């Protein structure tokens, strides 16, 4: 069970890293919206050749592979709720590395998620 839990953590870490790297790449793209729809092909090319975007997708691929291995070992009903740790780690990454403001309400919600993860992982 410990090995499966470590694989879940690997999947979580890869996902969180992917979000951080994708956000970094997205910042380089600037704000995209309906106004840029006419240049959609250009923006798609720029995104598809951005090393940060590609790195983020690579992190997701690693996370998906480790998740598939998890699914071969443990019940989905046990493993999936643990993925909620993504939310806490994303808050930390956004706050520490991206300089985003995280409200007390979000931190409180994150603590509730941790309590739920602990409850599920012990069952």
Say whether 122 sits in a helix, a strand or coil.
Answer: coil
Indicate the number of domains in the chain. 1
Using a 10 angstrom Cβ sphere, with 0-12 exposed, 13-18 middle and 19 or more buried, the burial of residue 38 is: exposed
Give residue 90's domain range: 2-121
Q: Is the pTM of this model over 0.85?
A: no
pLDDT in tens, the chain (123 residues): 788 889 999 999 999 999 999 999 988 877 766 665 566 677 777 788 899 999 999 999 999 999 999 999 999 988 888 888 888 899 999 999 999 999 999 999 988 988 887 887 777
């Amino acid at each position: 069970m410990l090995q499966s839990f470590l694989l879940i953590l690997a999947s979580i870490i890869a996902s969180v890293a992917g979000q951080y790297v994708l956000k970094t790449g997205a910042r380089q793209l600037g704000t995209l919206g309906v106004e840029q729809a006419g240049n959609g092909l250009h923006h798609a090319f720029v995104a598809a050749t951005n090393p940060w975007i590609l790195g983020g997708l690579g992190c997701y691929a690693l996370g998906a592979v480790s998740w598939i291995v998890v699914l071969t070992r443990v019940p989905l009903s046990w493993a999936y709720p643990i993925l909620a740790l993504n939310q806490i780690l994303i808050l930390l990454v956004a706050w520490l590395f991206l300089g985003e403001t995280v409200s007390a309400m979000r931190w409180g919600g994150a603590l509730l998620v941790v309590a739920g993860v602990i409850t599920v992982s012990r069952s």
